[in-house]
A and B are shown apart, each in its own frame.
Chain A
């Protein structure tokens, strides 16, 4: 670079340069936009008329008593309910302004973009390394030697590398529950999702593992958008930017997490966050 071009950039120019580097530039600020969504299994209505945007790069916690429909809501966002007998939906879910049910939406690509982590760790019956790269292979993202690089990168990202680097070809079931969940997280991250859905990701884990997973989740934003179903109110407060309270299939209240917990507007929300209703 010569002397002439190396002059001081104005703040505006910096902004423009950064905006150019930002992969999310020019994309809607709400990565997922749910509009008037109702979900039914047969004659039973599980979710009625929910409208809520999910802002890019944030963590949203979905809380509510068992049977409030929050898990069903979550599993709808990557269309995991589509094959369930009797499942119907009304309304729309937009991913980057495009309906997830639109005919131009490829289901497999949708699920690559919207990853999921389950309540119980579910590593596949293959080696640790093969687990990390399972999705990468399926989508043909990398192959051969590149897979080793992907495996190491992702295992480092979830803080598992040092624990497993000498046994990449071992069975994943010899790992502790917490390590298995981190492995599943590495597997989900490896395909480069934009949104990650987490269905009570730590409810099967001990407190130390829970802390490790929670700390990790905070490092994933703002690169990713996280939507977490949790029964652990403390967890919702610790990790989420916004919280949504579901009760009997309705989205009763939502807002910034501190506000929802400290000054809930709805009496049901107040009872739930204060532990008077489980």
Chain B
């Protein structure tokens, strides 16, 4: 004979609450996944039937032709952003999480840097684009070109990378730092070999998000990279750079069907690029994390 009744009056209510909570989480998930699948599916359905492989290998003629120049341009811009924003953003995050000396009240003195970063991430991208136009393209006489585009895109995504890096480093157990310190590793050596290594998935995720944003950005590029139907020049200044989002945006606004095909092709290529980036980075992270505590 059990002393406890088989079912409390509250049991049903508790189960209902759990069920409700579960339903809400599934709904929230659907809100995230639904639009993503819808957009990807829509682009694939529109782009694949008219797909020509020579899009990858021929130059654009504006509202028709290929996208080789834009693909190369976007890849170069992403590479530039990886180098500029990646290094500055990751170093900023490391500074905030590990180096900024804590104040007497235990708060990090990196507060100023943090506020600046928040303000920076709050700017609309078109404002940054216009700043780039006024200051770099016109002010420094750089013209529409690679360097101002990379600098402005980097300025835009540095906050994401810095914040992702900082929060990833905060997740690293203190015991790793103490262990490194107690072995007589210098701060920099311990960071490189032990701490940053275990924060890598978070850092890479942040960098990836930043690259996806940069690759998919249009407004600041209109002001800084200009537009071009030729392959990007080696010169970082005075030569406009082509990029995929330009064709997505411009050609969609054209009346011709051929232009719409170009627009969908550019969207599809951009999505494939971002997804590839995602998969490759996951593989890299999985390889570096095979000794992590969570991967036992």
Which A residues lie at the B interface, using CB under 8 A?
78, 80, 85-86, 107-112, 115-116, 118, 120, 122-127, 130, 134-135, 137-139, 170-174, 184, 187-188, 191
Contact = CB atoms under 8 A, between A and B. Distances in A.
Interface residues of B, number: 29
A171 B189 CA distance: 21
Interface stretch (B25-33, B158-166, B190-198): B190-198
A130 B181 CA distance: 16
B52 to A, nearest CB: 47
A122 B295 contact: no
B51 interface: no
B291 A111 contact: no
Contact of B182 (A111, A125, A126, A130): A111
A41 to B, nearest CB: 12
Nearest to A113: B184
B189 A124 contact: no
B239 to A, nearest CB: 45
B184 A122 contact: no
B189 A125 contact: no
- A-B pairs, 4 with minimum CB distance: A111-B184, A122-B175, A135-B183, A116-B182
Interface in B208-232: none
Contacts of A118: 175, 178-179, 182
B183 A171 contact: no
A171 B292 contact: yes
28 contacts: A80-B181, A85-B102, A85-B104, A107-B184, A108-B185, A111-B183, A118-B182, A120-B175, A122-B176, A122-B179, A124-B176, A124-B179, A124-B180, A125-B194, A125-B292, A126-B197, A126-B291, A134-B194, A135-B183, A138-B185, A139-B184, A171-B292, A171-B296, A172-B291, A173-B292, A184-B179, A188-B183, A191-B183
B193 A138 contact: yes
A128 B178 CA distance: 18
Contacts of B175: 118, 120, 122
Contacts of A78: 182
Given A85-B106, A125-B176, A171-B291, A115 B198 contact: no
Interface string B193-207: 110011000000000
B179 A138 contact: no
Given A135-B183, A188-B183, A122 B173 contact: yes
Contacts of B179: 118, 122-124, 184
